[in-house]
Chains A and B, each alone.
Chain A
Amino acid sequence: MPAPKQLPRWTEQRLIVVAFVLVACVLPFVVSNYRVFQLNMVIITSMALIGLNLLTGYNGQISLGHGAFYAMGAYCTAILIDQFGVPYPIAIVASGVLCMGLGWLFGLPALRLEGLYLALATFALGVCLPQILKYKGIEHWTGGVQGITLIKPDAPFGLPLSADQWLYFFSFGVLLILLWVAHNLITSHTGGAIMAIRDNPLAAAAMGIDLARYKTTTFGISAMYTGIAGGLSALVVQFVAPDSFGVLVSAGFLVGIVVGGLASLSGAFFGALFLQFIPNVADQISKAAPWAIYGVVMIGFVYLMPEGIAGFIRRARASGAHARTKT
């Protein structure tokens, strides 16, 4: 194949990343505080979607219960801040560590469950968690049905930023770190092993990949991403309650990675934008409309655009480059 006469691929990718970061840094100064809040939720949702995508898109383990890890991250942050007065950055890190541990633990039985069975078990986890959070025995921590209310932290060092703007930059920083880690992970040998397990577990095992270790580790990392996202969401929304983490959150994440594109990091943003803004639009039609649209979009993507928006763009760019080399 002849080399195309254009910018090397990595330069092009870096330019896109730099442009993306610049736009993301300017945006909070030109839109209203409410929009900043919404954009912040997009960032946070992207993290959760990257987490789920590492597990489902890259490693092929289906989780229909990632909302549970999101909830546990949110509750961990909220309880640490509310009950123990822990500073919020440490609480977020603690959420990530806790969820990594829990994810690793859940990954252990998941080792014996393939495909459908894992989907079933995680689905059950997602459905049950709100009930567990409401349980009377732990009410003094979780606040029961009432949940926990938090206060948004102000910008430190006297920075001239509103609380929403500060939290936006804080989450954006976290997102960049997580993106960098995820990118390095999937382009490394470990990432190759993770994807080999998805494509053909038998062949992967024959090549000497320790399936158990990689699968549980991926589960842990995936849950960590989602847990950090959950912790940040608790700060931004300033409120956690059992009923805001129903099974629909988990299902929403699945919609997000399907729309954005399975096994794609940039897809997480498209998925998160979709999850944040489409329901708002649809809500104006009817209370039932968002979920109907989610359903139609999910089925539509499976049949028409199985690689999601990111895959569609990738293909469009590839065919563009192909056309340029021909002329």
Chain B
Amino acid sequence: MEQLLHQIAAGLATGGVYASLALALVMIYQATHHVNFAQGELAMCSTYLAWWLIGAGVPYWLAFLITVVVSFFFGVGIERVLIRRVEKAPVLSVVIVFIGMQFILNSLAGWVFGYTIQQFPSPFPEEPPFGNPFINSHELGIVAVTFFVVGLLWAFFRFTPAGLALRGAAANSDSAGLCGIRVGSMLALGWGLAAAIGAVAGMLIAPVVFLDPNMMAGILIYAFAAALLGGIDSPVGAVIGGFMLGVLENLAGAYLIGTELKLTVALVTIVTVLVVKPSGLLGKVVVTRV
């Protein structure tokens, strides 16, 4: 029983990371209807930046903040320079650009920081909170930070004019443009937010999986699965999907198939969701008029 509770707690923690990254994917999907294959690599680069800052003597939370802000502007820059040009291009061109970006970011990180696996510090204390045997402080911290980020985003979309404008641009870019919303800036804003959320996810998972240029490959697959499970156009769904998958992954790893086939769980989830219920748990069912 204790073992089971511990597995669920650890699952919720990694689930929080999947949820954050899935949220970043959903942000970009909502704004531009693209699935960002380079999201994991973006997060990895941000994490390296944080690692470098901390190594240079910057306090953890300050480095965290700087990384989030820099990632935001990096995301905006990518949208402005690369993505805008293929906005109306066929899906294949967009996918190719994303995959190309993934290669470039990955090898840049390898070039600058090397391929050696690095330790990444956790800001949370070593000993478990409140002396409980089920969850350690970092895991609890991941869940807390995830909820904090989700809350912040919700407040942004619900209460700020920029959030409303972004929702408008995502829902119907033509009408939004006619209402005087700068749709282009809104798309860039969506990209910036996604990059910032991805940075948070990267910094949270790095103490667990360690830091190297390929750290995000498996996590990105799970984030895809989470986003699809929740419904690719639903932020709430992405968060729920992330937590569900984290727990599912851990339970399946502990009791069913062992840790070697963990990625297969994600593949099976993706294919099953797409075949059985392509709109996911909370996504809008798309009706095409023929």
Contacts and interface: CB of A to CB of B under 8 A. Distances in A.
Q: Do A and B bind each other?
A: yes
B91 A128 contact: no
Chain A residues touching B, majority SS? helix
Contact of A109 (B107, B221, B271): B271
B264 A262 contact: no
A115 B89 CA distance: 13
Given A60-B92, A116-B91, A292 B102 contact: no
A176 B100 CA distance: 31
Contact of A247 (B89, B115, B217, B261): B217
Interface stretch (A14-22, A79-87, A295-303): A295-303
Nearest to B95: A119
Interface string B104-124: 111110110001000000000
A1 to B, nearest CB: 29
Contacts of B97: 298-299, 302
A125 B267 contact: yes
Interface residues of A, number: 46
Contact of B107 (A135, A288, A306): A288
B258 to A, nearest CB: 8
Interface centre among A112, A299, A303 (most CB of B within 10 A): A299
A102 B111 CA distance: 38
Given A112-B278, A117-B278, A128 B263 contact: yes
A123 B95 CA distance: 11
B23 interface: no
Interface string B162-173: 000000000000
Contact of A128 (B35, B115, B266): B266
22 contacts: A109-B271, A112-B274, A115-B92, A117-B274, A119-B91, A124-B225, A124-B267, A128-B266, A131-B263, A132-B264, A288-B107, A288-B111, A289-B111, A290-B107, A292-B103, A295-B102, A295-B105, A297-B100, A299-B82, A299-B101, A302-B96, A303-B85
Interface of A: 56, 60, 62, 64, 109, 112-113, 115-117, 119-121, 123-125, 127-128, 131-132, 134-136, 202, 247, 251, 254, 258, 262, 286-292, 294-299, 301-303, 306
